[in-house]
Chain A
Amino acid sequence: MALGSVRDVFRKSDAFLLGVCVLLAGGFLFLAAKNAADAGNFFTIDSLFFTTVCLLLAVTFIAVPALTMRERGINPFAVPDGVPAARAHEEVHFEGSTKLFLNILGALLVLTVVEVVLAYIEVPLTLMLIILIGLSLIKAALIMAYFMHLRFERMSLVLTLVPALVICICLLFIVFPDSFRTRQQRATPTRAVQAEPGAEASH
């Protein structure tokens, strides 16, 4: 199995031409996609024709490098058997079974469905916000602990990252009383002016 690098086997001019072919194939794919997106009605003869032509040209242009590389026995994307050199000295720790992760995924999906259903139930605004943010925090905690693996890392890392983030987010909440003040003030501007008997005539 020849797992060579593209550079070993091709002259620079060959590699350049193959690169141009790949670019052109990509360009035709993009044209086909753009036509599909922009066409008001995709299922017209014109639009289908254009799409077919673009796709055919894309296939033709990508066939050139693909077949050439196959002929010369190169697959730059091949994965060798065994442990590659980059990983030879790595110490890898990975805790967690597929079953655990499937359970977490299930919990996340259920919580999402609960949130969506909750949105369609009449609930007072504050309560809705609390429940929604609460559920989102639980989902975030599940993702961070299990998918991002924090549960299995050192506690010192968790304590360095999470409290700082939580404190900064809580600090952002300082602005909210001002938003309520803004809304209230907008509702009562004229009363303040009319309360003054000696108000200026320019009003």
Chain B
Amino acid sequence: MSTEAHASHGHGTAAVANEWDGGTFPYRVGHRKLGMWLFIVSDAMTFSALLVGYSYARAASDQWPTPFPFYPSIIFSTTMTLFLLASSFTMVMAVKASAENRLRAARRWIFATMLGGLTFLVLHLIEWEHLIHDGLRPFRLADQMAKDWPQAPPLFGASFFSITGLHMFHVLTGVLYLGWIALRISKTRHEDVEISGLYWHFVDLVWMFVFPLIYLMSVKY
């Protein structure tokens, strides 16, 4: 039970028998990374609450608007999903490059990730524009929707805009965060690049659930 492990960056020396004996990082991660993980868990709960709220409203309704035709909605949202997944991959490549101290490559991979995120945002905003142009508002259905689905509650707008809007906000924040890391790559620790990667993968993770529940469940149901 050695208590002489490094006080600085290093994860405990081999002499530390137990990671809970002090002198090293619990879980063998730094406090920043643990902080980001805890934030991710809490944010995941926020999104879960929103998605369950949407599911509740939908399950309790006789009718629910499904204004997502194959073109443009499903095509756009599938493309957005593929771009986001690809951007997650480029982020992993960025972290890998950072681990190997190839900083210029790491920066280029981060720029590629940001590009994926921006493409996602632009496509999603175009989607929003279609719906808003048709007349959809948070607590009022578009006229055509009210005709096609007369028993549908006006909550469709609120649930769609809040869930996708919060997610888009996360994507935007992520892009700005990644931009900051990319521009300052030579002054950051590798840990910082890893942590920004964790945030970006979380954004992708949330979309993995938002996309089926909002878009794919609207095709045949």
User: Is A143 a contact of B189 with CB atoms below 8 Å?
Assistant: no
A101 partner, pick from B52, B89, B219, beta carbons under 8 A: B89
- Residues of A close to B10: CB separation below 8 A: 89, 91
Identify the stretch in A48-56, A148-156, A191-199 within 8 Å (CB) of chain B at 4 or more residues. A148-156
The docked-state distance in angstroms from the alpha carbon of A178 to that of B59 is: 9
User: Is A79 a contact of B103 with CB atoms below 8 Å?
Assistant: yes
- Residues of A close to B124: CB separation below 8 A: none
The docked-state distance in angstroms from the alpha carbon of A120 to that of B78 is: 13
- Residues of A close to B61: CB separation below 8 A: 183
- Residues of B close to A2: CB separation below 8 A: none
A120 partner, pick from B92, B183, B220, beta carbons under 8 A: B220
- Residues of A close to B204: CB separation below 8 A: 143, 147
User: Is B29 a contact of A153 with CB atoms below 8 Å?
Assistant: yes
- Residues of A close to B100: CB separation below 8 A: 94
Query: Is B134 on the interface with A (CB-CB < 8 A)?
Result: no
- Closest A residue by C-beta to B126: A37
Q: Which B35-78 residues sit within 8 Å CB-CB of chain A?
A: 37-38, 41, 44-45, 48-49, 52, 55-57, 59-62, 74, 78
User: Is A92 a contact of B89 with CB atoms below 8 Å?
Assistant: no
- Closest A residue by C-beta to B95: A94
Nearest Cβ on chain A to B36's Cβ, whole angstroms: 10
User: Is B78 a contact of A128 with CB atoms below 8 Å?
Assistant: no
User: Is A148 a contact of B198 with CB atoms below 8 Å?
Assistant: yes
Query: Is B208 on the interface with A (CB-CB < 8 A)?
Result: yes
User: Is A87 a contact of B189 with CB atoms below 8 Å?
Assistant: yes
Contact string against A for B residues 76-96, beta-carbon threshold 8 Å, 1 for contact and 0 otherwise: 001001100110110111011
The docked-state distance in angstroms from the alpha carbon of A74 to that of B157 is: 51
Nearest Cβ on chain A to B113's Cβ, whole angstroms: 12
Query: Is B191 on the interface with A (CB-CB < 8 A)?
Result: yes
Query: Is B186 on the interface with A (CB-CB < 8 A)?
Result: yes
Tally B residues with Cβ within 8 Å of A: 68
Nearest Cβ on chain A to B119's Cβ, whole angstroms: 15
- Residues of B close to A168: CB separation below 8 A: 45, 48
User: Is B85 a contact of A109 with CB atoms below 8 Å?
Assistant: yes
The docked-state distance in angstroms from the alpha carbon of A78 to that of B95 is: 19
Contact string against B for A residues 136-177, beta-carbon threshold 8 Å, 1 for contact and 0 otherwise: 100110011011110001101100110011001100110110
Q: Footprint of A on B, CB under 8 Å?
A: 8-11, 19, 26-29, 34, 37-38, 41, 44-45, 48-49, 52, 55-57, 59-62, 74, 78, 81-82, 85-86, 88-89, 91-93, 95-96, 99-101, 103-104, 107, 183, 185-191, 194, 197-198, 201-202, 204-205, 208-209, 212-213, 216-217, 219-221
A sample of 12 inter-chain contacts (CB < 8 A) reads A86-B186, A96-B96, A112-B81, A120-B219, A129-B217, A136-B209, A147-B89, A157-B29, A161-B38, A178-B60, A179-B55, A183-B62
With A147-B204, A153-B29, A156-B26 given, can you name 14 additional A-B contacts, CB distance below 8 Å?
Answer: A79-B103, A79-B107, A96-B92, A96-B96, A105-B88, A112-B81, A112-B85, A119-B74, A119-B220, A147-B92, A156-B19, A161-B37, A180-B59, A182-B60
